[in-house]
């Protein structure tokens, strides 16, 4: 019952009823990634994703990201896509949470910032 109410009133928990109806009418399922996100395409060439859980754009893997942004016409489900060794696994965006990254010298991280080296001179009025 809780999931039904969340899907009816929120857009960030999975997809809304309107998106599901549009997908049912006009979408052709192209594939699914390892996380469970499902990718669709319309006859007109429009592409979209239905997220598994919270809608977070950074949760799209690199191979599907290229397909979603029309960098390639062949989806990774039709290719034997293997991530390159320099591609890192997904980490969720932790901005505003306890696990967020705060560089040294920021207001939240009291550690001293490393000294600048080289030919840089700070401006002073």
Contact predicate 63/76, CB 8 Å: yes
Question: Which residues make Cβ contacts (< 8 Å) with residue 36, sequence separation at least 6?
Answer: 52, 53
Residue in 84, 77, 41, 79 with CA at minimum distance from that of residue 62? 84
pLDDT tens digits, residue range 16-36? 777 778 888 898 999 998 889
Which structure tokens are listed for 85?
């060794």
Distance CA 15, CA 6 (A): 10
When pLDDT is averaged across residues 57-81 and rounded to a whole number, the result is 87
Specify the pLDDT at position 53: 78
For the chain, domain boundaries: 18-112
- pLDDT of 11 over the 70 cut: no
Contact predicate 13/22, CB 8 Å: no
């Amino acid at each position: 019952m809780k999931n039904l109410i969340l899907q009816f009133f929120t857009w960030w928990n999975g997809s809304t009823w309107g998106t599901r109806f549009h997908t049912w009418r006009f979408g052709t399922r192209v594939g699914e990634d390892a996380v469970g996100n499902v990718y669709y395409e319309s006859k007109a060439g429009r592409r979209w994703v239905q997220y598994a859980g919270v809608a977070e754009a950074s949760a799209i893997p690199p191979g599907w990201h290229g397909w979603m942004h029309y960098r390639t016409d062949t989806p990774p489900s039709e290719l034997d896509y293997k991530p390159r060794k320099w591609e890192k696994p997904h980490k969720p965006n932790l901005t505003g949470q306890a696990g967020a990254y705060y560089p040294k010298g920021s207001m939240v991280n009291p550690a001293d910032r490393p000294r600048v080296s080289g030919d840089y001179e700070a401006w002073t009025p």
